[in-house]
Amino acid sequence: MDILSMDARAQSAALETGEISSLELMDATLARIEAVNPQVNAIVSLRDGDRLRDEARAADNAPRSGWLHGMPIAIKDLANAAGLPTSMGSPLFAGQVAESDDLMVARLRRAGAIIIGKTNTPEFGLGSHTYNPVHGATRNPYDLTRSAGGSSGGAAAALATGMLSIADGSDMMGSLRNPAGWNNVYGMRPTWGTVPNEPVGDMFLHQLATSGPMARSPADLAALLDVMTGRDPREPLSRDAPDTLAGIDAAPKGLKIGWLGDWDGAFPYAEGISEISQDALAQMAGMGHRVETLAAPFDADAMWRSWIDLRSFAIAGGLGEIHADPTKRDYLKPAAVWEIERGFAMSAMDVHRASVTRSDWFRKVTRMFESADLLVLPSAQLWPFDVEWAYPESIAGHAMDTYHRWMQVVVPAGLIGLPVVNVPVGFGADGLPAGIQLIGPRGSDAMLLRLAQQWHSATDWPRAQPPKL
């Protein structure tokens, strides 16, 4: 088997037994990047090949430091990796070289990973479409005229094309879910706090975004998640979490799955999105699970208002200093300016009211999980769109009133920090991939991964239909 088509754990096992060397894996990885990255533009800031080969040789001659020992990985270009640029897709930071690793990156290094470069992302991670003025757009490997999604679009496209076997990502508004669905791979948003955020700035108020794993199998998701997780004493809202890889092959039985459909018409879907999602659920029912269609459990408009207010509040907190500097403000894309100025215009009571709505939704969904083990929604409301667009302005005749309204389907889980696994569910009439979100209660990460692995064993979409580049 081509070593680049192997799952990450299979590569790791082959390295451990000496079946392959880290140098062989590095050579194959660099050759694949040279062959396909010019078409998709997923890997950016690639390090010098000779230095990477030297590090691979060193790994071959060193004791194993973890399951990632000697394996290439590229870090999403929002996180700091010592010695590599962290552009965040912004001209303001192009060429800025990180002096130290972020917490999550340091954990990957300690497990033996060799960091080869970065994966592309939208400017500051804003918008589920990976394009920016520093590195350009990442293209979907299933159709190079289409978007790879975002903001972890570079990571997802790199996985789909075999340039990486494992990748990190981050998710505020679907950034681990939408690109995974659009690239026929797996992406996981863990329970909020499981992967600690950086212990800098405010560490209490902004509970929306989290880092998480991406892979071509749920078992690889679990293995990488177990490296990324764990309480950090400097991060007050981080949490301990049990290993998720242990028991990954214990297929769950008789789960009660709630299908939320289009939220009683609140979420417009492109033709075929609902159908492919329900086909997947019918297959899950055939695996012994019980699927029930549920009525919309909460006011979608109230949830959306809560979301956009809390999101703008968080973004204004993060980017407000840049906006305040007139020499830098013009370098911000319109979506960032819109978010920041919305955040600045809010009162403390506006934020309070948004958080009360969030709390009401959490109370409601907690009651729902008394009678359902998990909930399901599509991972995106439409198929991958034209890579030249900034964002889709309508779905099925419904106008989108913001740059991110087309991703409203990811808000129910993201607003309250629930764990979600995207699983690929096949292809539409145009040969484009889709996924669904498996959404569980807080702390149900291991259960979701076991269901995803059961699904993977029955379907294996990433290997069944890889992109043809």
pLDDT in tens, 391-422: 999 999 999 999 999 999 999 999 999 999 99
> Which candidate, 149, 53, 193, 195, places its Cα nearest to that of 383?
149
Beta carbons within 8 Å of 70's beta carbon, 6+ residues apart? 15, 21, 22, 25, 56, 59, 60, 112, 114
> Which candidate, 371, 411, 387, places its Cα nearest to that of 267?
411
Q: What is the pLDDT of residue 245?
A: 98
Superfamily of domain 3-301+353-464: Amidase signature (AS) domain (3.90.1300.10)
Q: What is the pLDDT of residue 405?
A: 98
Q: What is the mean pLDDT of residues 266-285?
A: 98
Q: What is the mean pLDDT of residues 234-240?
A: 95
* 392 phi/psi in degrees, rounded to 5: -75, 135
Which two tokens mark 436? 């669904």
pLDDT in tens, 422-462: 999 999 999 999 999 999 999 999 999 999 999 999 999 99
Tell me the three-class secondary structure of the chain, residue by residue: CCHHHCCHHHHHHHHHHCCCCHHHHHHHHHHHHHHHHHHHCCEECCCCHHHHHHHHHHHHCCCCCCCCCCCEEEEECCCCCCCCECCCCCCCCCCCECCCCCHHHHHHHHCCCEEEEEECCCHHHCCCCCCCCCCCCCEECCEEEEECCCCCHHHHHHHHCCCCCEEEEEECCCCCCHHHHHCCCEEEECCCCCCCCCCCCCCCCCCCCEEEEEECCHHHHHHHHHHHCCCCCCCCCCCCCCCCCCCCCCCCCCCEEEECCCCCCCCCCCCCHHHHHHHHHHHHHHCCCEEEECCCCCCHHHHHHHHHHHHHHHHHHHHHHHHHCHHHHCCCCHHHHHHHHHHHHCCHHHHHHHHHHHHHHHHHHHHHCCCCCEEEEECCCCCCCECCCCCCCEECCEECCCCCHHHHHHHHHHCCCCCEEEEEEEECCCCCEEEEEEECCCCCHHHHHHHHHHHHHHHCHHHHCCCCC
pLDDT in tens, 311-325: 999 999 999 999 999
pLDDT in tens, 79-95: 999 999 999 999 999 99
CA 196/CA 27 separation, integer angstroms: 33
Beta carbons within 8 Å of 54's beta carbon, 6+ residues apart? none
Percent of the chain with pLDDT over 70: 100
Q: Rounded to a whole number, what is the distance in angstroms from the first to the last CA of the chain? A: 18
Q: What is the pLDDT of residue 271?
A: 98
Q: What is the pLDDT of residue 241?
A: 87
CA 419/CA 439 separation, integer angstroms: 6
In this model, does residue 206 exceed pLDDT 80? Answer: yes
- 115 in Cβ contact with 81 (< 8 Å): yes
49-58, 148-157, 234-243: which range is least confident on average? 234-243
In this model, does residue 1 exceed pLDDT 70? Answer: no
pTM over 0.75: yes
Each domain of the chain, given as residue ranges in start order, spans 3-301+353-464
Confidence of residue 242 (pLDDT cuts 50, 70, 90): confident
Q: What is the pLDDT of residue 310?
A: 98
In this model, does residue 389 exceed pLDDT 80? Answer: yes
* 291 phi/psi in degrees, rounded to 5: -110, 130
Q: What is the mean pLDDT of residues 286-315?
A: 98
> Which candidate, 169, 21, 220, 227, places its Cα nearest to that of 29?
21
CA 33/CA 53 separation, integer angstroms: 14
Q: What is the mean pLDDT of residues 107-126?
A: 98
In this model, does residue 287 exceed pLDDT 80? Answer: yes
CA 108/CA 80 separation, integer angstroms: 12
